[in-house]
Amino acid sequence: MPTLLAVYRRELTSYFQTPLAYVFLAVFAVSAPAFTFHVGRFFDTNRADLAPMFDWMPWLLVILMPALAMRSWAEERDRGTLEFLMALPIPLWASTLGKFLAAWSVAAAALVLTWPLWIAVNYLGSPDNAAIATGYIGALFLAGGYLAVGQALSATTSNQVVAFVLGCGAAFLLTMAGLPLVLSGLGEGAPAWLTEFIAGLSALEHYNGFRFGVIGLPDLVYFIGLIAASLSCAGVLVAERRGGGR
């Protein structure tokens, strides 16, 4: 645990030693209200809730989470500090989990910046605050899933731009997997088990339960499993490549 906390503090500090965290938070703070009021047409719904924000949140996270995750391992390899990090008396799991928790903390801070919207809808009416809180929990888990996948892909390259593109592509596929457009593309002759399997991979499908104010055990298991599997892959990739330099 002390080593995990040491890695967490190091990574969290490093985010704010560069413009990355500040730019990320600023973009999120501007984008979330823009999606809520303009793209989501908040005032046209005549409802005092944050449904428009949560409707568009997955598409916002598809871009912003890979941007936050791209530096995690790619930067270490690019600067040649990966070997030094691996030589320290720090378990690989602590390095992997510490990096993830630091990035997830920045993502959580970005969600906190949208809380004035929650205050605003309470001023405008009487929303279901429990459903809004559940939506925030779902958004946090969705952000964590995309971050973990992005960090696993960051471990495959020393180029942060490549890591960003790979992360966006993987997050987009996870989001699109359960949509009718994708499922219908399998054709009518596709086995039912295959259709159900692909639909079950959809992060959007599991996020929808939170968006509607329901915390389901299968949805929790999905996101926790996605995070755990992705971080495990990141650890395996780092362990295999740490002796190979860049």
Domain boundaries, the chain: 2-244
With beta carbons less than 8 A apart as the criterion, state whether 47 and 55 touch.
Answer: no
pLDDT exceeds cutoff 70 at 245: no
As a whole number, mean pLDDT of residues 214-237 equals: 91
Burial readout 29-54 (b: 16 or more C-beta within 10 A, e: otherwise): eebbbebbeeebebeeeeeebbbbbb
- pLDDT at position 43: 64
Q: Work out the percent of the chain whose per-residue pLDDT is above 90.
A: 31
- The residues near 188 (Cβ < 8 Å, ≥ 6 apart) are none
With beta carbons less than 8 A apart as the criterion, state whether 155 and 238 touch.
Answer: yes
Confidence band of 209 (pLDDT split at 50, 70, 90) = confident
How far apart are the C-alpha atoms of 18 and 25, rounded to whole Å? 13
How far apart are the C-alpha atoms of 171 and 163, rounded to whole Å? 12
pTM over 0.85? The answer is yes
Tokens representing residue 2 in the block: 């002390």
Q: At what angle do helices 92-112 and 2-16 cross, to 10 degrees?
A: 50
Residue with tokens 């912003």: 64
pLDDT in tens, 64-79: 999 999 888 888 777 7
- The residues near 116 (Cβ < 8 Å, ≥ 6 apart) are none
How far apart are the C-alpha atoms of 116 and 123, rounded to whole Å? 10
